[in-house]
Amino acid sequence: MAKLILNVFSTIILFLTLTQCNQGVTKTEGKTKKGLQYVIHSKNPTAKKAQDGDFLYFFVTVKNHKDSILQKRQEVKAFELKKDPNDKFYELFTQMKKGDSIIVKEPTENITKESNDMIKKNIDQTRKQIDELKSNKEQKMPDGSGKTMPDSTRNQYIKTLERNIMQAEEQMKQENPMLPKGKMITYIFSVTNVFNKEENTKHIEKEQKEATEKQRIENQKNDEKDAKAIKEYLEKNKLKAEKTASGLYYIIEKEGTGENAKAGNTVAVNYKGQLLNGKVFDTSIKEESEKAGLQQPGRTFEPIKFALGQQMVIKGWDEGITLFKKGGKGILLIPSSLAYGARGAGKDIPPFSPLRFDIELVDIVAEAKQEIPKETPKK
């Protein structure tokens, strides 16, 4: 949004300033040569003004001539101020200081002219494209195939481009109801910070550090919540489970034979997945699907095959399947951090949902390259 506002218009700004002080707020008014009107309210008139290379942080709202919202209040972070002769707002932004509020009124004629100039530019480019199509009989197909464009296709393409030009020319003749002549579009800026390059780098690093810490705390709370939910589930259902360092709980119901599955193996697994409230959301077993009333038309019910340790399934599966041997059966109780986390999975798995999977490791294949997975549990 900021780039649109800053680059769509072009003018040279002449400031005619009038300064008034009222209850500690300085009011500066001005008008550009092309009729751009502005009022700056400064809480701290002695603060440093923005310069080339500085980074602006602000909120912007755009309203139409009826004072209705065209663009809701939107935050713009780290906008780098660079001198641009086509940027009408550049001179205004060099007046900005932290805490400033700025109201800018733009004549609708300015915006209409800029829009028409862009349309004219596109028309010129389209006409050049038509000339190229007419003069170059070896024009290639636009699909990247390298084949020469047939005459019938070229002629049809030219007609389409000519029709586009006619529509664009007609559009310029019509008045945009959103931009009636003699009216104003209003931009409201609220400047929250002005940083030089070094200050901006430190600010971003601080924000990232704070965000990381916030996420760590949130993850810790969710992990604790999931662990509590799983423990309560185990107690309620009288189940005894082992716990891994990652927080994954597992129950071996049938030992199986041979060695445990390991990363690099391709495995075949039958499964049933459900929320801790008992709602089944997916299964590879037809009888379980019918019993749960799942709608899975056209599905082939068979063990799914995938390569372990390749992030083809959720983390809880990549770890949990390695706890089983061929022919082994059991239960995986997976905290949300090892499942679908904050994003959840469609309408069936809400965000931050610990899950239960009843699994059977049907087969282990030594080389992962020998198999291509047909299906995987929902991600």
- Asked if 340 is an active-site residue, the reply is yes
Backbone angles phi, psi at 192, to 5 degrees: -100, -30
Annotated catalytic residue, options 38, 93, 189, 281 = 281
Count, residues in the chain? 379
Nearest in space to 60 (alpha carbons), one of 21, 97, 6: 6
Catalytic residue, candidates 55, 90, 271, 324 = 271
Any catalytic annotation for residue 57? no
**Is 282 a residue of the active site?**
yes
Residue found by looking up tokens 């008014």 in the block: 29
Cβ proximity of 190 and 101 under 8 Å: yes
What distance in Å separates the CA atoms of residue 364 and residue 309, rounded to the nearest whole number? 14
CA 209 to chain centre: 21
Tokens of 347: 């309408």
Query: What sign does the CA torsion over 340, 346, 352, 355 have?
Result: negative
Catalytic residue among 90, 93, 324, 340: 340
- Which of the residues 185, 357, 359, 364 is marked catalytic? 357
Catalytic residue at 271? yes
Closest CA relative to residue 340, chosen from 374, 315, 375, 319? 315
Active site residue 38: no
CA distance 200 to 80: 10
d(CA 351, CA 354): 9
CA distance 87 to 11: 7
Whether 357 is a known active-site residue: answer yes
Which of 272, 67, 74 shows the shortest CA–CA distance to 192? 74
Count of helices and strands (H, E) across the chain: 7, 16
* Gyration radius of the chain's alpha carbons: 32
Helix (H) or strand (E) holding 287: helix 286-292
Active-site positions read 271, 281-282, 314, 340, 357
